[in-house]
Amino acid sequence: MSLIAIKILISIMLLGGCLLILSGILGIIRFPDFYCRAHAATKGPTVGIMMIMLGSIIFYAVSGSFSSRNLLTCVFIMITTPVSAHLLLKYSYHSGIKMWKVVMDDWKHDYERLVDEKKQDGD
């Protein structure tokens, strides 16, 4: 690959990462409830940071040096962000934070359906 193509690839990675982080910020501002905002705060910025780090890894590889810090940052973010978001949302659901009224709560719907079936079987 030529040097210009590599620079274009790095620029696309950096710009794409910044746009994904911006979309997460806009989602935090625009979404109606805690669950949607938490989704926007974790999914877009996680992928955005990964794109920025991959662009940085490519830049350092082209310049002749390799930075293991960028690779470790990618691994750390990929492990911690989804896990922490899952635990945060699970705790908020079990503590009773209400969902947006348009969103259907599948867990609650399934639980109510099972309770109704047991009542019908018991009758």
- pLDDT by residue, tens only, the chain of 123 residues: 688 999 999 999 999 999 999 999 999 999 888 888 888 889 888 999 999 999 999 998 888 888 788 889 889 998 999 899 999 988 988 888 887 776 666 666 666 677 777 777 765
Written as one letter, the residue type at 15 is L
CA-to-CA separations, 83 to 24, 25, 30, 77, 113, in angstroms, rounded: 18, 20, 24, 10, 29
Query: Do residues 70 and 57 make contact, with C-beta atoms less than 8 angstroms apart?
Result: yes
Q: How far apart are CA 4 and CA 78, in angstroms?
A: 30
Give residue-wise pLDDT tens across range 93-119: 888 888 777 666 666 666 667 777 777
Q: Is the dihedral of CA 91, 95, 98, 104 positive or negative?
A: positive
Domain ranges, ordered by start, for the chain: 3-97
